């Protein structure tokens, strides 16, 4: 968050499974659309927060399986863990806050008295979260009885049932909503409270997010019955909360537009982007270039000489491409090889996306842009740190001069 000079324009706080990530979309098209939108228009002045019921272990597993962006903040284990940045630095203040009236040993003693509770895997048992599986038909009765038992033992806990199967026991001060409220107060104290916050969810453990004051909220179209019922009972008349008509990440993009929070047309939905470039934002240009590269290699666009000539006009005549091995080749020479590569990845699941785009103006009209470029080809996934020196020129039309240096 050090890159922000003031309040974020927008903070998106999103659940992962079946909200940001659609597990029924094997090509991850909605997620890739969101990725391109975020990196092109929002990354430089906004905050991305993932709020998930997953523990750190299975959160990392999901990141290895899906093309997820790197969030600025991660809230895990149903709001009991908050971490910052790519290195996931824990928030020790939040840990101390949750210790109040919480005793994990007592929770384990009392839950052992209920044979209906089936313990989840060891990775899902966390310092401030104890998790079980429980059949839906038995949930209401067991939750009431368990709550009374724990209260008699002097604990102040929160019991959350979600997805028709999962039961989590947390400190009363925990949960996705309380974690977000804590985070917003912390940002406010640092003079960084976002101008707008959009929360996104699909299940019962997301309901708390929608109750945080002054946020916008979207339930994706595939939201589960428990969240839809909560919405009908609590927020149907709240104009700041909506039920999207699109699934998962597409529903998030839809909400950005419905609430007028910023650009909501993903670069992936713009055709012939290399022929109609009008945005001189360095991050936008980077996203558009790699989208063109993906489409060219997949054969998704016309094999036209016009594209090649346009690339030559965009890249500086003396620009070089430096391979991680140290081999240095003129960029114009690289462009000349593109016609032979057209459609080379047509039979493969080939996708390219960028993550963590940042840029700094090093001189008037000149930017150094850094980002991670990810490339999926079949079942092979690779990433490289990429640096681009980008200059703007005022000609009859705008032109970008690029000098690219790539390193792993």
pLDDT in tens, 119-143: 999 999 999 999 999 999 999 999 9
Mean pLDDT for 356-373 is 91
pLDDT at residue 393, rounded to an integer:
62
> Residue 360: is it exposed, middle or buried by C-beta count within 10 angstroms (0-12/13-18/19+)?
exposed
CA 131/CA 365 separation, integer angstroms: 54
pLDDT of 396 higher than 50: no
Whether residue 168 contacts residue 79, with contact meaning beta carbons closer than 8 Å, is answered with no
- Residue 397 region by backbone torsions, left for phi larger than 0, else alpha for psi between -120 and 50, else beta: beta
Q: What is the pLDDT of the chain when averaged over all its residues?
A: 91
Residue 152 has pLDDT above 50, yes or no: yes
Helix (H, G, I), strand (E, B) or coil at 188: helix
> What pTM does this model have?
0.90
Token pair 């960028």 is found at 354
Q: For 205-262, how does the pLDDT look when each residue is reduced to its tens digit (9 = 90+)?
A: 899 999 999 999 999 999 999 999 999 998 888 999 999 999 999 999 999 999 999 9
Contacts with 375 (C-beta within 8 Å, 6 or more apart), sequence order? 350, 351, 352, 381, 382, 383
Per-residue pLDDT at 275 = 55
Q: What is the pLDDT of residue 278?
A: 58
Question: Do residues 370 and 386 lie in contact, with contact meaning Cβ atoms separated by under 8 Å?
Answer: yes
Alpha carbon 348 to chain centroid distance?
A: 25
> In the structure, what pLDDT confidence band is assigned to residue 312 with cuts at 50, 70 and 90?
confident
pLDDT at residue 67, as a whole number: 97
Digit-coded pLDDT (tens) for 49-102: 999 999 999 999 999 999 999 999 999 999 999 999 999 999 999 999 999 889
Position 313 confidence tier, pLDDT thresholds 50, 70, 90: confident
Q: Residue 395: is its pLDDT beyond 70?
A: no
């Amino acid at each position: 968050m050090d890159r922000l000079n003031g309040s974020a324009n927008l903070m998106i706080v999103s659940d992962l499974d079946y909200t940001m990530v659609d597990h029924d979309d094997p090509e991850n098209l909605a997620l890739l659309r969101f990725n391109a939108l975020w990196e092109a228009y929002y990354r430089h002045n906004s905050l991305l927060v993932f709020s998930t019921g997953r523990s750190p272990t299975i959160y990392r597993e999901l990141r290895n399986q899906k093309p997820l962006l790197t969030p600025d903040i991660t809230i895990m284990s149903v709001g009991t863990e908050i971490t910052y940045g790519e290195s996931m630095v824990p928030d020790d203040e939040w840990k101390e806050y949750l210790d109040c009236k919480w005793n994990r040993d007592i929770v384990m003693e009392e839950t052992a008295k209920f044979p209906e509770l089936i313990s989840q895997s060891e990775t899902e048992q966390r310092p401030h979260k104890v998790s079980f599986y429980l059949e839906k038909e038995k949930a209401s009765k067991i939750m009431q009885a368990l709550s009374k038992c724990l209260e008699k033992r002097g604990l102040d806990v929160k019991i959350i049932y979600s997805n028709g199967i999962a039961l989590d026991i947390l400190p009363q001060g925990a949960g996705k909503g309380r974690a977000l409220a804590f985070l917003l107060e912390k940002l406010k104290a640092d003079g960084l409270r976002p101008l707008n916050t959009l929360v996104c969810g699909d299940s019962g453990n997301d309901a708390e997010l929608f109750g945080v004051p002054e946020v916008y909220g979207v339930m994706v179209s595939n939201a589960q019955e428990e969240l839809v019922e909560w919405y009908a009972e609590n927020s149907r008349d709240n104009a700041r909360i909506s039920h999207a008509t699109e699934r998962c990440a597409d529903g998030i993009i839809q909400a950005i537009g419905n609430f007028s929070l910023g650009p909501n047309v993903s670069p992936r939905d713009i055709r012939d982007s290399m022929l109609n470039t009008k945005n001189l934002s360095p991050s936008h240009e980077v996203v558009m270039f790699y989208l063109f590269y993906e489409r060219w290699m997949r054969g998704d666009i016309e094999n036209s000489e016009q594209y090649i000539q346009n690339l030559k006009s965009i890249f500086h005549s003396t620009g070089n491409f430096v391979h991680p091995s140290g081999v240095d080749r003129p960029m114009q020479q690289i462009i000349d090889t593109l016609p032979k590569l057209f459609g080379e990845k047509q039979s493969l699941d080939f996708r390219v996306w960028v993550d963590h785009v940042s840029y700094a103006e090093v001189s008037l009209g000149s930017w150094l842009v850094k980002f991670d470029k990810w490339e999926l080809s079949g079942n092979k996934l690779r990433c490289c740190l990429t640096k681009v020196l980008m200059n703007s020129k005022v000609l009859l039309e705008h032109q970008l001069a690029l000098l690219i240096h790539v390193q792993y």
